[in-house]
Structure 1
């Protein structure tokens, strides 16, 4: 059997179903192994995204979360177990990811992303997957990734609805950022949280898996990027819809003015 570049025989067996895909192959799998991906939040979206990314062989996974596991998390945050209640979500995620793929290096950032640390943390990664649950973090990530020229795959869920898009506005025309759609964040009081309005647990799995898929595509440069498109999912209707996003010249982050 021919040994593919930068991979052991064990890795060839582990990633065999990737390697046989012409779009990935041995070279593509080696790129995944060399990649560094930061996931914001080890919650509803981060839980499935992290597990699929670890299984895919992403070499380094960063997890940003300053929270601890609570009983109410377990309905959707499937990376955690009942025995993890009370411990750090980042540590719980690291344990699970180690069981899935011990070759993956997991960096636990047990802190909240802020204006003081965002640039330092994000700079160490190639792609960022945003699974945060508040507008302040979403906008901070959008601006930070734009200025550092990092690809951002962002998703959101509430009740039975979800949405996802990829932002890489620094690449120029045809690539908007989050602020091109929503120039300013609504007040936290105007939009209910999952704790207030509820969320279907399996919906987090759907959108988190989509995030992992888009991250892998961006690393490999395959398929059609979600940049410039907002994909929405209505779980009750079992329906996906798509909206084109236009880059705004007056965008406060990536606009020309």
Structure 2
């Protein structure tokens, strides 16, 4: 059930989802703005995971190729949670999840398809995108980390919004980023790069290998969390501007009952 926002003149909002209570404002996720945000989140997520197959050394800190775009997925997730609510944010996460799974299936089919006789790239392609290759391991790690991290990100934003209302947007965004990025970075790095999942080697056709030592993992985790939170902090003016624009332009933005 929805009720009009008598104080704002901005219309009504959909019924509350789990984690959303009375007097909390959200917009209905049926607009073109929501579609654009979800599309960007899914695209950034897919590109980041392909880029993450390469590890890099930034001044002694171990990072992966997802460092350039992946922080923006949390910025987008935060905007969606703030404007459209928890349920809409989980819908966006599901879209990103589905895109990654479809991508993995397509890459796998391309890998097992017969190559031209003079193709010199088949072995490299199998190492990168094969079912037991680097990409699949990173995919599994990313899906688990991304879902848990984004759920935490959204829950924190919604809970803080329930407590403080429309004020203290910076507190919602920054606190949710810290919790979400800590969970995501730790889970992703642990599964994707360390010896932790090597027990899977007992399965037929699976041959995992260690991509990072525990020391390198520690460096990766610390730098990753600090860097991603710093990006979120530096881009907060952009986040604030986008959130304000969406709240003003979404006619359904109102109080959830």
Using structure 1 for the length normalisation, give the TM-score.
0.26
Q: Quick one: higher RCO (CA 8 Å, sep 6+), 1 or 2?
A: 2
Which has more radius of gyration? 2
Say which structure is richer in strand.
1
Q: Give the TM-score, by structure 2 length.
A: 0.26
